[in-house]
């Protein structure tokens, strides 16, 4: 069987190479995969990233090349820090259940790209050059609606990328779908596609440097959109993003819960601890890239609450309430998030918009984060 295994073609996904292998062998995939992995029957997903060691040997390339050039791993991990990236890389190149867990790594891709896409021009060119068409990774990234090589809108099929019955031995030249209209492709779409594909083709297992939680705040300040001494106004930031991205942001693959762009404000505020998928990073970066500078800050949050001694009094009240919430959690053995504790103390909104005005409350927040009651305890 191994001599029938097809080497992946340029930008071809592992799953696509296995489709071509099964077709060349004239066998169902259920007979091909056990022959490659010592009798273990499995069905590769469209975003397949497991069994790379044995597949690389059969495909006559190195495991690292297979991982970086023929899976979605470079894109999915492009914003990971180095320790997490090292751990995921090691797992991906391992065997057994650890390697099969790579579906968690690519979840940020698969959840936002439900149906397979292809470029009709690429399908024809591939058939002429290689004798058959194949599925390109770069056509199946969240938010990518255009083939950069041909500057042609992609065709979206009804072939699912995930879920039951996901295995299909159909190649792009045989697939049926609805082509996106050229007039619906915006400048934002083109720039997002360029940024996304560049991440996919990075061929690196070295983490990005300097993309901390203050990255986007500083970027907004440099563009004149935000004052250096102000927190961002979440509603204003959402309106700005919607204006830059254009109508129907759902076209980019966002979940319904993400269409308000409330997550964008969380990316501006430091130390929120909220995990962010690659699509959100790239959409924010693209908006910053093509959005114009502002002569006056338009995203500043202006506190509407009490000031002066009133704030001092509230700080004392809030800190005592928060201390009480923490002590109850410690007594009951409960683990609580800082945000939930602040909500319980009735000061989440005031504190998150003007932390500097509430030093006593901030001290209790730090005490909570270092205590056994914290859901994400930090080292003391």
- Helix pair angle (63-70, 14-25), 10° resolution: 110
Phi, psi of 123 (to 5 degrees): -60, -45
Residues contacting residue 4 through CB under 8 Å, at least 6 positions apart: 21, 24, 25
Tokens of 134: 């194949």
Summarize pLDDT for 148-189 with one digit per residue, the tens: 999 999 999 999 998 766 778 899 999 999 998 888 899 999
Burial class for 354, CB neighbours closer than 10 Å (0-12, 13-18, 19+): middle
Q: How confident is the model at residue 116 (pLDDT cuts 50, 70, 90)?
A: very high
Three-class SS of residue 6? Answer: coil
Summarize pLDDT for 179-211 with one digit per residue, the tens: 988 888 999 999 999 999 999 998 665 556 556
Average pLDDT over residues 340-352: 84
Average pLDDT over residues 207-229: 82
pLDDT at residue 39 in the model: 75
- In what side-by-side order are the strands of the sheet with 115-118? 115-118, 155-160, 177-179
pLDDT at residue 23 in the model: 93
Q: C-alpha distances in angstroms, 229 versus 188, 217, 225, 288, 353?
A: 30, 11, 12, 20, 12
Per-residue pLDDT at 305 exceeds 60: no
Summarize pLDDT for 353-375 with one digit per residue, the tens: 888 888 999 999 999 999 988 88
Residues contacting residue 378 through CB under 8 Å, at least 6 positions apart: 369, 370
Q: How confident is the model at residue 17 (pLDDT cuts 50, 70, 90)?
A: very high
Of 192 and 31, more confident? 192
Q: State CA 124 to chain mean position distance.
A: 31
Tokens of 340: 């939930």
Helices assigned H by DSSP within the chain: 14-25, 29-36, 52-59, 63-70, 73-76, 82-92, 97-100, 102-105, 107-110, 120-130, 187-200, 215-222, 234-245, 262-268, 278-290, 309-332, 338-344, 348-353, 359-370
**Cα–Cα nearest to 285, from 224, 216, 235:** 216
Asked if 49 contacts 105 with a C-beta cutoff of 8 angstroms, the reply is yes
Per-residue pLDDT at 349 exceeds 90: no
The rounded distance, in Å, linking the Cα atoms of 111 and 141 is: 10
Asked if 50 contacts 95 with a C-beta cutoff of 8 angstroms, the reply is no
Q: How confident is the model at residue 345 (pLDDT cuts 50, 70, 90)?
A: confident
SS3 content of the chain, % helix, strand, coil (to 5): 50, 5, 40
Per-residue pLDDT at 311 exceeds 90: no
The secondary structure of residue 156, as a DSSP letter, is: E
Any idea what the Cα angle at residue 133 is, between residues 132 and 136, rounded to 5°?
145
Beta pairing class for 177-179 and 146-147: unpaired
pLDDT at residue 145 in the model: 96
pTM of the full structure: 0.77
Cα atoms in the 13 Å half-sphere on the side-chain side of 321: 16
The rounded distance, in Å, linking the Cα atoms of 117 and 144 is: 9
């Amino acid at each position: 069987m191994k001599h029938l295994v097809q080497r992946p073609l340029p930008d071809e996904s592992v799953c696509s190479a296995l489709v071509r292998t099964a077709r060349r062998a004239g066998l169902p995939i259920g007979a091909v995969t056990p022959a490659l992995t010592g009798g273990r029957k499995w069905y590769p997903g469209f975003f397949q990233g497991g069994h790379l060691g044995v597949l690389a040997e059969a495909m006559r390339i190195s495991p690292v090349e297979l991982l970086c050039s023929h899976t979605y791993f470079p894109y999915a991990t492009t914003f990971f820090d180095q320790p997490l990236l090292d751990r995921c890389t090691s797992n991906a190149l391992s065997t057994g259940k650890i390697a099969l867990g790579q579906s968690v790594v690519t979840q940020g891709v698969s959840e936002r790209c439900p149906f397979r896409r292809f470029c009709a021009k690429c399908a024809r060119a591939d058939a002429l050059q290689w004798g058959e068409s194949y599925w390109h990774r770069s056509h199946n990234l969240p938010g990518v609606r255009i083939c950069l090589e041909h500057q042609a809108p992609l065709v979206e099929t009804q072939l699912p990328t995930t879920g039951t019955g996901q295995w299909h031995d159909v190649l792009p030249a045989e697939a049926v779908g609805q082509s996106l209209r050229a007039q619906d492709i915006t400048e934002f779409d083109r720039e997002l596609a360029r940024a996304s594909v560049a991440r996919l083709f990075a061929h690196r297992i070295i983490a990005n440097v300097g993309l901390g939680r203050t990255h986007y705040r500083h970027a907004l300040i440099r563009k004149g959109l935000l004052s250096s001494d102000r927190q961002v106004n979440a509603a204003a930031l959402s309106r700005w993003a919607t204006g830059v991205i254009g109508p129907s942001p759902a076209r980019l693959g966002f979940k319904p819960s993400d269409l308000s762009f409330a997550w964008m404000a969380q990316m501006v505020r430091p130390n929120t601890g909220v995990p962010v998928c690659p699509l959100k990073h790239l959409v924010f970066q693209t908006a910053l890239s093509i959005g114009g500078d502002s002569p006056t800050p338009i995203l500043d949050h202006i506190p509407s609450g009490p000031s002066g001694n009133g704030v001092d009094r509230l700080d004392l009240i809030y800190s005592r309430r928060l201390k009480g919430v923490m002590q109850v959690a410690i007594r009951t053995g409960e683990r609580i998030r800082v945000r939930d504790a602040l909500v319980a103390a009735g000061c989440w909104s005031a504190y998150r918009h003007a932390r500097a005005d509430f030093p006593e409350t901030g001290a209790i927040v730090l005490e909570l984060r270092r205590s056994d009651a914290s859901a994400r305890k930090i080292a003391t």
